Chains A and B, each alone.
Chain A
Amino acid sequence: MGMTITEKILAEHAGLKEVVAGQLINARLDLVFANDITGPLAIKEFKKIGVTSVFDQSKVLMIPDHFAPAKDIPSAQQCLEIKRFAAEQELVHYYEVGRCGIEHCFIPEQGLVVPGDVVIGADSHTCTYGALGAFSTGVGSTDLAVGMARGEIWFRVPESIKIILHGKPKNRWVSGKDYILAIIGKIGVDGAQYKTMEFAGEAIDDLSVAARLTMTNMAIEAGAKNGIIAPDEKTISYVKERAQKAWRIYQSDDDAVYERIVEIDVTDLQPQVAFPHLPSNTKPVSEATDVKIDQAVIGSCTNGRWEDLLEAAEIMKGHKVHPEVRAIVIPGTQDIYLRAVKEGLMETFIEAGAVVSTPTCGPCLGGYMGILAKGERAVSTTNRNFVGRMGHPQSEVYLSGPAVAAASAILGRIGTPEEVAQCKY
């Protein structure tokens, strides 16, 4: 019987010839990592297991990014805990503030994850790396502790849902974020609960690796265990430039078993906006243009990559951020930040009246660097719009791609780049 990419990767890492959906397996881990929020708890649990060292110092990674650079004293303590643990354990991959960025932007950028890997991270958006043809999934701190100690973890092999996107969008601003929001809007926040979302089709083939990472990043917002995209020429050229280890390409068999197939034609798809308070409350942007905003955030592990910043800058160039709006741009990594400086994007953002932050998860999860007051509204390229996600429980987050977020910053309400082009300021 044929297998999916996910099944093939899991079988190989469990030392089995084949696996089927529903099977319980123990899989070998290629990368195990945590951040400043989940790391301290994982370290506390790790110390109770009874082992003295991690299973492999080159496969366990710690990264301060959520509340780093530390936003307050308790956050500083948490950052210090992961730093100390990395030093005690002599971890190869510990990255201090200034040499890293947001984990799910940084880890693939540095070639620390490659096609065919099995990765767990104590962060729900670890599913991002499926865009490179790896199996990666978010876990809690206790699972992570066991992964650090044993180098393996149990999984139930997930059923796969194949999502095929047909066509080429007529609207040039429609990209990965709009696709994934449209999919979540269609299947719901639990539409892929416990399952694999395997993305395929012409529209996926046409996406950049960055836009594919945006899509798999949000697989968790449909409840999925992982999102995955078959590697192609674009994947290989992305990986070749940066891989720190050997990779292995898997493709799904023609007779692989899917629990369900979802097909969407993107030809006439408009940019999407997810209204509060669930990522599944999606509407085309044309139905959101009366929503006034107080803040626009461009960044995060979902849309903090070079291509996202470039798109935002193209729209904002020569315009001014609306007088009543704060625009906050957050490059995903130091490399992206530096390139944005060198290629003039920073000048565009600052001249427009936006602030540019150091890489951090910051406002996405209501940490800092752009918290909303009671009653305030933000349009944001982040991934969640839950109650209180970006600040006060009575604030609101509207999710969009970078084009709509940048346009909205100028317009003072949710809107499109075409409207900005008509704008005199």
Chain B
Amino acid sequence: MQVLKGHVWKVGQDVDTDLIIAARYLNQSDPTYLAKHCLEDIFPKLNEKIKKGDILVAGKNFGCGSSREHAPLAIKHAGFSCVVAENYARIFYRNAINIGLPVIVSPETVKMTAAGDRLEVDLIKGIIRNITTEQTYQSETLPPFMMEILEKGGLIPYVSEKVKADV
């Protein structure tokens, strides 16, 4: 999971959690069901068009609004390998790390990347390469404990190891 590759889907700024997954679908929490409706008011039938590993590129304040973890779950299970944004709303950011969805901060990438470009993201080094335009960007790397959570596959596997260690 450390080097991710995919085509870019691009959205604007302040994309809220209602746009990521509308509340009309929150009467269920099955990730496959949520994935079918991911971002559907922006990209109708996204789930039929997306290729596994594609990358979501977004403007500032991505994921603002509700605390619904259904939002990063829908993105992850729709097939996106990661999100690259100018910055994130805090609950979304924390939820994404907790469920094992890499979220990268790189305003430069967002500015210089177009929909359909092919990106390669090295999570450990924080290097993002736009294969289409042959440009390379350095993003902020995650703090070590967040990287460890991602490597374990999310907060639950990370915490359950600690619980076992306590016993």
Contact = CB atoms under 8 A, between A and B. Distances in A.
Interface of A: 37-38, 40-41, 44-45, 48-51, 66-67, 71-72, 74-75, 78, 122-124, 126, 138-143, 145-146, 149-150, 189-190, 193-194, 220, 223, 225, 278, 365-367, 384, 386-389, 393
A386 B65 CA distance: 9
B61 A223 contact: yes
Nearest to B143: A24
Nearest to A138: B67
B90 A366 contact: no
Contacts of A40: 29
A366 B23 contact: yes
A204 B41 CA distance: 39
A142 B27 CA distance: 18
A140 B18 contact: no
Interface stretch (B76-84, B91-99, B108-116, B124-132): B91-99
Closest 5 CB pairs of A and B: A140-B95, A140-B69, A142-B98, A74-B27, A190-B61
A361 B94 CA distance: 24
A44 B154 CA distance: 14
B116 to A, nearest CB: 24
Interface stretch (B49-57, B134-142, B159-167): B159-167
Contacts of B19: 386-388
A44 B29 contact: yes
B97 to A, nearest CB: 9
B68 A140 contact: yes
Contacts of A142: 69, 95, 98-99, 154-156
A74 B90 contact: no
A140 B67 CA distance: 5
A140 B163 CA distance: 20
Contact of A388 (B18, B28, B68): B18
Contact-residue bracket for chain B:
35 or more
A96 to B, nearest CB: 19
B89 A190 contact: yes
A130 B76 CA distance: 33
8 contacts: A48-B157, A50-B163, A142-B155, A149-B159, A190-B60, A365-B18, A366-B18, A384-B18
Interface string B18-31: 11001110111100
A375 to B, nearest CB: 15
Interface of B: 14, 16, 18-19, 22-24, 26-29, 41, 60-61, 64-70, 72-73, 87, 89-91, 94-95, 98-99, 154-157, 159-160, 163-164
Nearest to A194: B90
B64 A189 contact: yes
B39 to A, nearest CB: 11
Given A146-B155, A190-B89, A37 B16 contact: no
Contact of A143 (B26, B28, B68, B95): B95
Contacts, number: 130
Contacts of B91: 124, 138-140, 220
A184 to B, nearest CB: 12
Contacts of A366: 18, 22-24
Given A149-B163, A365-B23, A189 B98 contact: no
Contacts of B68: 37-38, 140
A143 B60 contact: no
Given A141-B69, A367-B26, 13 more contacts: A67-B26, A74-B28, A122-B67, A142-B156, A149-B163, A190-B89, A365-B23, A365-B66, A366-B22, A367-B23, A386-B19, A393-B22, A393-B41
A193 B87 contact: yes
B67 A45 contact: no
B94 A139 contact: yes
Nearest to B95: A140
A323 to B, nearest CB: 29
A38 B69 contact: yes
B41 A388 contact: yes
Contacts of A48: 156-157, 160
A193 B61 contact: yes
Contact of B98 (A37, A140, A278, A393): A140
B133 to A, nearest CB: 28
B156 A145 contact: yes
Contact of A123 (B67, B87, B94): B67
A37 B27 CA distance: 7
A37 B66 CA distance: 11
Contact of A189 (B14, B67, B95): B14
A156 B41 CA distance: 34
Contacts of A190: 14, 60-61, 64, 87, 89
A24 to B, nearest CB: 8
